[in-house]
Amino acid sequence: KDHFFGVGISVEADTTVTGNVVEGAERFGMLLGWGPYLRDVIATSNVIRKCETGIYVTVVEGSGDTVIAENIISGTTSGAIVGYRWHDAVTGDMAREGSGFDHLAIERNRVS
């Protein structure tokens, strides 16, 4: 898919995303960042369910610090937390595998 509508919540910088419920988004429950414009984002204590991908997070060089923690993500078909370079998924499910990116802290998320 080369479109980015069907997103529950989208943020780029200087944002806290906490305590939301997103259900049934066509593409992404959350879209965190776009290229190197991601910085200082915290996504915690959200419930995301029945979305294609739970959380899109950019892993492009130059992206800023981001914390994704203590979310409940269920019923996704393409992964709970997936790293993207613009339109392309470039990681597996980082909720299960860890991130391997210095700008990301992905911790204590529950996936089912």
Q: Does residue 36 lie in a domain region?
A: yes
Domain that holds residue 73: 9-86
Q: Does residue 101 lie in a domain region?
A: no
Q: Does residue 1 lie in a domain region?
A: no
Q: What is the DSSP letter of 94?
A: H
pTM equals 0.95
1 confidence band (pLDDT: 50, 70, 90): low
106 confidence band (pLDDT: 50, 70, 90): very high
Q: How much is the average pLDDT of 78-92?
A: 96
What is the count of structural domains for the chain?
Answer: 1
Q: How much is the average pLDDT of 11-28?
A: 98
What's the CA gap between 25 and 29, in Å, rounded?
Answer: 6
Q: Does residue 53 lie in a domain region?
A: yes
Q: Does residue 91 lie in a domain region?
A: no
Q: How much is the average pLDDT of 83-106?
A: 95
- Percent of the chain topping pLDDT 90: 93
Q: Are 49 and 75 in contact (CB under 8 A)?
A: yes
